[in-house]
């Protein structure tokens, strides 16, 4: 069960694209050298309408079920033709964050944690349309 109803605005508008524990195939072109063919996310993965990431699509989020769980972002390398991209996370358990980092390790550039929701929301505002 998602905790988006407990999240402050604008995070409460989060839209799930890939439900927790679902494999997501990146559907890469034949001959692609991107090191990930797909991933299984341990928590809901989706986007935040009204906010745009570096790839030109809505801002990506991982949303866990831990009240007052871990908050932060990771930056991943999307390949030569797409800029490096922020993916934020909210309410993750330590185990969930470790699983995400392991799945994305081949393309992981940076991981950053926030000490509170206020810091995360301030960073997210930079991506508002």
Question: Cβ(45)–Cβ(60) under 8 Å?
Answer: yes
Question: Cβ(119)–Cβ(126) under 8 Å?
Answer: no
17, two tokens: 């694209």
Whose tokens are 């940076």? That residue is 110
91: three-class secondary structure by DSSP:
strand
**What's phi and psi for 88, nearest 5 deg?**
-90, 155
Per-position pLDDT tens, the chain of length 129: 445 658 999 999 999 999 999 999 999 989 888 899 999 999 999 999 999 999 999 999 999 999 889 999 999 998 777 889 999 999 999 999 999 999 999 999 999 999 999 999 999 999 999
- Dihedral sign from CA coordinates of 107, 104, 8, 13: positive
Q: 72 forms bridges with which residues in the sheet? A: 89, 113
Listed in sequence order, the residues at least 6 apart from 110 whose beta carbon sits closer than 8 Å to its beta carbon are 74, 75
pTM of the model: 0.93
């Amino acid at each position: 069960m998602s905790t988006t109803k407990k999240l402050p605005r604008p995070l409460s508008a989060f839209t799930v694209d890939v439900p927790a524990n679902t494999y997501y195939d990146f559907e890469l072109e034949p001959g692609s050298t991107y090191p990930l063919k797909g991933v299984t996310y341990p928590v809901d993965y989706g986007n935040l309408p009204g906010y745009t990431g570096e790839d030109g699509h809505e801002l990506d989020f991982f949303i866990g079920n831990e009240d007052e769980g871990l908050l932060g972002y990771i930056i991943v390398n999307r390949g030569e033709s797409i800029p490096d991209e922020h993916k934020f996370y909210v309410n993750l358990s330590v185990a969930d964050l470790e699983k995400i980092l392991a799945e994305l390790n081949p393309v992981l550039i940076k991981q950053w944690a926030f000490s509170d929701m206020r810091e995360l929301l301030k960073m997210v505002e930079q991506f508002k349309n």
